[in-house]
Amino acid sequence: MHLVVVRRDLTGYQHLHPTMAPDGTWSVPLTLPQPGVWRAYADFTALADDGRQTAATLGVDLVSPGDYTPRPLPAAATQATVDGFQVGYEGTPQADATVPLRFRVRTGGAPAALEPYLGAFGHLVALREGDLGYLHVHPQPELSDDAVTFQLTAPGPGRYRLYLDFQVAGVVRTAEFTLVLP
């Protein structure tokens, strides 16, 4: 199970992994570091008695008390820097169409040594501003020309925040991008 938590202004992104207890309940420590309304998404696969699997996402709002001032989204960009890593993507997302996005992670001018994280070379979450429409996409299984490739299908126009989780030297980092689809 993935638990994604983000403040409604799309700041404070957290990608957590709850553990299941013997009684079937799931739990994970969670800190909401700033006041505001937060959205939590439980993203999992349900298994039917006949063995069929169905992807499911449940969402709920959480409130952290205090003065809340929403932050505007940063300008649209295809490049980001996190902890000294330069991360960029190629591809032109389109509403209602599946488009490949190729992410490259570099450090010191050279490709970073990406490691599998939860069985993949990256995880991509996209949230739409306003209604907080949610996408969680896994990449193709292998790197291609030092790039992690995702097939992204944006459900419609709007301003999105993309969160790319990647792992290098045992540490998971998240690069964030703003995307505007007409």
* Contact between residue 30 and residue 12 where contact means Cβ atoms under 8 Å apart: no
CA pseudo-torsion sign 20, 33, 84, 73: positive
pLDDT on residue 73: 95
Q: What is the pLDDT of residue 92?
A: 92
108-142 pLDDT, tens digit each: 999 999 999 989 999 999 999 999 999 999 999 99
**Residue 48 banded pLDDT, cuts 50, 70, 90:** confident
Q: Which of 75, 44, 42 is nearest to 179 (CA)?
A: 75
pTM of the model: 0.93
d(CA 101, CA 90): 6
Q: How far apart are CA 18 and CA 25, in angstroms?
A: 10
CATH 3.40.140.10 for the 79-181 domain, yes or no: no
Span between the terminal Cα atoms of the chain, in Å: 32
Confidence of residue 173 (pLDDT cuts 50, 70, 90): very high
All CATH 2.60.40.10 domain ranges in the chain, comma separated: 79-181
Burial class of 121 by CB neighbour count within 10 A (0 to 12, 13 to 18, 19+): buried
The per-residue pLDDT for range 49-105, each reduced to its tens digit, is: 898 998 889 999 999 999 999 999 999 999 999 999 999 999 999 888 999 999 999
What is d(CA 32, CA 63) in angstroms, rounded to the nearest whole number? 9
